[in-house]
Amino acid sequence: MADVNVRIEDKLTKYPREVSDLARLALQLSEQGASELAVAEQVEAKVRDLVRSMRKEK
Amino acid sequence: MILKRITLCNFRQFKGTQGTTFSGRSGSSNVTVFYGENGRGKTGIFRAMLFCLYGDRIISQDGDVPDTKIDLVNKQAIQAAAPNTVVSSYVELEFTHHERTYRLTRGLDGMKGGHGEVIQEPTGVRLEIADVNGNTRVLEDPVAVEDEVHFVLDKGIRDYFLFDGEKIERLTRASTEQRREIARGVRKLLNVDALERAIKSMARLKKKLDTELTSSSRSDLARVIKDLGLLEEEMVAISSEIDTVESETAHAEREKHGVDQALEQFKEIRHLVELRQQNTDQLKDREEQASALLGEMKTYSSRSATLLISDLVTATLEYFNQQKRRGEIPPEIRNELIERILREARCICGREILEGTTAYECIQKWHEKTSDTGFKDIALQLWHELGKIQSNLGDLGRNVESFLMRHSNVRNDIESLELRLQQISDKIGSSERKDALYLEKQRGMLEKKLIDLRARHITLDGTLRDARDRRRELEERKSSLEQEVSRHDEVSQRALLARKVFDALQMIHDEFTAEIRELIGLYATELFERLLDDQGKKVLSRVVVNDDYSIEVYDRWGAQFLPNISSGQRQLMSISFIAALARVAAKEQLLEMPLFMDTPFGRLSNEHREHLIQEIPSFCSQWILLATDTEFRTQEAHALRKNKKWGSFAFLRALEDGCTEIRDMSYESALELLAQKENLR
């Protein structure tokens, strides 16, 4: 059934790298059965890191 | 999941320890047939599967029967056991999944209760899992076992692989509940639920960051964010109301289905029930007529008493008439005139009447006769009254006679209606059948409720669509404001990024589900065409999975055909849908999942059976059939053999004690048995 994810993966590639990475993370955590809150918290941590590194680059 | 072997011990009809091996994986020799007459335990095998995998003690066809009423432990073993002795029963299932081998055992103890009833208690579950290297782990915790089994075949999708003929047919009924069930199955099987959970998680994060942003951003942005928050709350409320409406619709549809089933029982007597209602209405009408006639008759009651003395009136009147004729009454010449004649001794004609003459004496006598004037006046008055009474008696008599006649006719009608009603009620029989009219009424009410609910659903859908449009506008406004402030505001940047992820996931979800709906429709159409007979192919054109996951079939002229589809065609359509679902899930590979079908050909004609036998083994890794002697014949066996799909054949043979023996048979022996059965028919 994981083959179904190939379709989703194909669609993710159309988005900017940071967006697809975060979406992929949310998806993977959901597939592993993590709760909504846990997924939101982990993605938030990743978002924070990404934004900080983007700001530093500027 | 590939099934390897099933072993049953004192389970249902199977006394002692018995078992059989399932055939196949890959595309060849992958059909296993359990063959037996009704009551031999085909459904017992199906029960054993569900009991072993999920601990289910009832299956869908049991309806509302409580699980305590379903005896799973073999009755003969319990009867044969000494008093207070426990009989152990279990089902063991061996299967493989993703290169691991599983051995699942679930037990149940049974014993005879004090009142002859069977008491059953689960005794636990054990799962051995061996990997390719031969490492084995054992699970005995029911929750851990449940998690592992759900990983292999989730309970949410098992209905698509383990089902009976009726279940297949129900799959394509367009009820709200069915639609939800299909949607649930599709989401599970195609991993859409993980995608949806990810979207919900991102919505949660987005909301959290928006709240942070409200307190730190410019007033315009803060206002937009606040509006968005309110709008989202509104949308949640609308969605929740839609859920409620859908639940109520599903409930009403279930109720209506129940009423329809109950009404089906009344079908044979429906015309009688209608006739009884007509007669009851007529009876009520006649009783009202009778009551009105009686009311009218009361107005005549005082007068009609005179009819009783009509002879007396006539006789009295005749008497007075004779008297009148004799001149005795009335005193037509008043007493005063006679006295004047006598006093003046002269008649009114001028003739002289002298005292002592005959004329004088006659007048004198006349004077004496008319002297009792009081009596004469009364007699005259009585004569007048009697005359009036007699002239009215005719009309009164005719009227009363007419009333009596009409009343009598109405009473006759009432009596014959009452008799007829009694006869109809006798024909209708038991009192519970009187519920038919009530059921009809209830059905009408439910139909009205469903119309209201569907209308409400449409309205809510529209409101939700509008809200989504408003949200999109606000989101665009917010994005542009965020971009303005993001250069300086880290929280804004985080919120913007979270929103982009949310939007991306939402978009992927919408595209993905639309894509798979289209694919499922396409694949289902392809297989449906192969399964249909020539006549069906001429009419039916394509299967479509709608946005709400309801299934529709169109005829070659592009019109919806589902309401007109036959039961057999419906069954084929459902199978095509499941095959399409499996094909999409496995990305056009063979899905490693057994297709377990109880009573598979019940509604199918010969041509449809042939097509099914030809096509099904090619799209699933295993096909397990539980078939009766009328469903599975030499013809079907030959077809399977010819297609190289014949795998194994287990004959469920009746034993003398009422139990069943599972006897594995070769193709040749099976063919011999099938031929014998056919000759007997």
Which residues in A lie closer than 8 A to residue B152 (C-beta atoms)? none
> What are the pLDDT digits (tens) for B418-447?
998 888 877 776 544 556 677 778 888 888
Which residues in B lie closer than 8 A to residue A47 (C-beta atoms)? 205, 494, 497-498, 501
Probe site for chain A from B483, B508, B592 (most A CB atoms < 10 A): B508
Q: Which of B197, B490, B516 is closest, CB to CB, to A51? A: B490
pLDDT at position A58 is 64
What is the CB neighbour count within 10 angstroms for residue B107? Answer: 21
Residue carrying structure tokens 């005795």? B328
Return the HEC string of B484-523. Answer: HHHCCCHHHHHHHHHHHHHHHHHHHHHHHHHHHHHHHHHH
Task: Enter the tokens of residue B342.
Answer: 């006598």
Q: Round to the nearest angstrom and report the end-to-end CA distance of chain B.
A: 38
Rounded to the nearest 10 degrees, the angle between the axes of helix B606-619 and helix B567-585 is 10
| Cβ-Cβ contacts under 8 Å for B236 (sequence gap 6 or more) | none
pLDDT at position B653 is 93
Q: Do A15 and B512 touch (CB under 8 A)?
A: no
pLDDT at position B250 is 83
Q: Do B201 and A39 touch (CB under 8 A)?
A: yes
- Note whether B44 and B635 are within 8 A (CB): no
> What are the pLDDT digits (tens) for B579-628?
888 777 766 566 677 888 887 777 788 888 888 888 888 777 888 998 98
Which value, in Å, is the radius of gyration of the alpha carbons in chain B?
47
Q: Do A43 and B501 touch (CB under 8 A)?
A: yes
Angle at B224 between CA B219 and CA B225, to 5 degrees: 95
Which residues in A lie closer than 8 A to residue B500 (C-beta atoms)? 15-16, 19
Residues of chain B in Cβ contact (below 8 Å) with chain A:
189-191, 194-195, 197-198, 200-202, 204-205, 208-209, 490, 493-494, 497-498, 500-501, 504-505, 507-508, 511-512, 515-516, 584-587, 589
pLDDT at position B110 is 92
- Note whether B45 and B6 are within 8 A (CB): yes
Probe site for chain A from B501, B502, B507, B513 (most A CB atoms < 10 A): B501
Task: Enter the tokens of residue B544.
Answer: 């479509």
B195 CA to chain A: closest CA distance, Å? 6
Give the C-alpha distances (Å, rounded to integers) separating B548 from B350, B478, B555. Answer: 125, 31, 21
B61 CA to chain A: closest CA distance, Å? 29
Residue carrying structure tokens 């002592």? B356
Q: What are phi and psi of B123, to 5 degrees?
A: -115, 5
pLDDT at position B488 is 57
Which residues in A lie closer than 8 A to residue B156 (C-beta atoms)? none
Q: Which of B194, B201, B500 is closest, CB to CB, to A43? A: B201
- Spell out, as residue ranges, where chain B has pLDDT lower than 50: 431-432
Which residues in B lie closer than 8 A to residue A31 (C-beta atoms)? 191, 194
Closest to B25 (Cα-Cα) out of B588, B621, B615? B621
pLDDT at position A41 is 94
H helical segments located in B543-666: 567-585, 606-619, 634-642
A1 has a pLDDT exceeding 50: no
pLDDT at position B4 is 93
Helix or strand holding residue B165 (H, E)? helix B165-170
Long-range contacts of B446-453 (CB under 8 A, 24+ apart): B446/B252, B446/B255, B446/B256, B446/B259, B447/B256, B449/B252, B450/B249, B450/B252, B450/B253, B450/B256, B453/B245, B453/B248, B453/B249, B453/B252
pLDDT at position B331 is 54
- Note whether A28 and B195 are within 8 A (CB): no
pLDDT at position B328 is 66
Q: Do B497 and A22 touch (CB under 8 A)?
A: yes
How far is it, in rounded angstroms, from Cα B160 to Cα A1?
15
Q: Do B493 and A51 touch (CB under 8 A)?
A: yes
B79 CA to chain A: closest CA distance, Å? 47
Q: Do B201 and A6 touch (CB under 8 A)?
A: no
Q: Which of residues 30-49 of A touch B (CB under 8 A)?
A: 30-31, 36-37, 39-40, 43-44, 47-48
Closest to B80 (Cα-Cα) out of B110, B54, B51, B100? B110
Helix, strand, or coil (residue B214): helix
A3 has a pLDDT exceeding 50: no
